[in-house]
Amino acid sequence: MGSLVRHDAAGLEQMAQHDEWQFLLAGEGERRWLALGSHPAVGVRQQAVQHRLQVRLSRQDFREQAQATLRQWQRWRDAGLAVAGYVGYDLGAALEGIQPQRNATMWPDADLCAFAPDDLETTTLPTFAPRAALPLPDSLTQQRAWFQHAVGQALDAIRAGEVYQVNLSVAADLRFAAQRLVPELLAAILTVQPVPYAMVWKGASATLLSGSMEQFLRVQGPAVQSRPIKGTALRHAEAMADQLAAQDLAHSVKERAENTMIVDMIRNDLQRASHWQSVRVATLCAPTPYATLWHLESEVHGTLRVPDDRVALLTATLPPASVTGCPKIQATQVIGRLEHRWRGPYCGALGLDLPGVGLDLAVGIRQVWLEPDVATLQVGAGIVAQSDPEREWQELCIKAQSALRLLATLQDGGC
């Protein structure tokens, strides 16, 4: 059965593993976490956490549990508390009535904490030297045939008219035993891939590392925006080759089609919680540079009908459209049929809801889970009618490099 697990202060103290921080977040660039201001990193120490909610969905009352999670979030916010943590992909799917997948290893479907806004602290981060990526683990490369077969099945669903696009992912485990404190983990994320939305979250038995470049939702007053990413290309050291890669990405029929479909879904999701005709596309398919990759990004704006209603907004928008497919419910059903496993925090939403400042959530991508002796990474690719199974596999392996560079830096790097 599923459960809503609440921890008192004594229980939270026992969960402290090698570190006193519950979470830290940092970011780079103009779109970084809105709570950062001029600070390099902000976070909350475990002793400042007043309430904690961990959710594991059951197969009987999963939808009610998902809704109850959002209602608890709302109650904390209405009481003047800040909220931080993540809601997983499967919890978002449960809001749409889709039964969660299950496998042997299972982290919470949501993990949230509440604290006084004044307890949000600033801190500086150590410096790391980047390392070359670890080799692709066997647990990933051995899934090549399965992934390409799954892409073929997704293409069959597209040709049958069931979906237009579907996001498929692969999870891989590797032995990993390096122990680092939360500030070091966050510093390593930004060393490997400077992104707007880097976060370290301490779970009960594992630590979530997320280096996301994708904004899911940003709310300031009644204004809401989302910046979906679809479309990836490698960057090049030589300026002319780098610009050609950006131009090729910007003119790719396949990548533009995929991005445009996701934008249309986000327009629909935001409209469910926004004033009629307030939703508009501010940017469409703009090539955006990161340290090692180009991405196609768009931006969608809206004006919320009830700015403080987190239940309505998150019910309307979870799980993030960019990591499901089009149409969302059918694509989520196809994902469950093909992947046969739980996604957890991956492809969910994580971030911070700070009274007087706003809500800032990132899409849960570029993630690594650290357990005592195992690291788990998960990467995905969007499949459309023009997709080629081999090219999608190569893109997936490119995306895995950031996680493998992160693990190499944590394993061998000094600070």
254 flagged as catalytic? no
Hunting for tokens 């997709």 — which residue is that? 387
120 in the Ramachandran plot: left (φ > 0), alpha (ψ -120 to 50) or beta?
beta
Cα–Cα separations (whole angstroms), residue 358 to 38, 117, 215, 218, 353: 16, 12, 14, 7, 6
DSSP letter assigned to residue 369: E
SS3 232: strand
Q: Is cis: bond before 327, omega within 30 of 0?
A: yes
328 flagged as catalytic? no
SS3 368: strand
Cα–Cα separations (whole angstroms), residue 372 to 18, 34, 207: 11, 32, 9
DSSP letter assigned to residue 118: G
Cα–Cα separations (whole angstroms), residue 344 to 65, 87, 106, 160, 171: 15, 8, 7, 29, 11
Could you say which of 28, 214, 258, 299 is catalytic?
214
Residue 233 near residue 246, CB atoms below 8 Å = yes
Could you say which of 28, 184, 230, 395 is catalytic?
230
Q: Please give the positions annotated as active site.
A: 214, 230
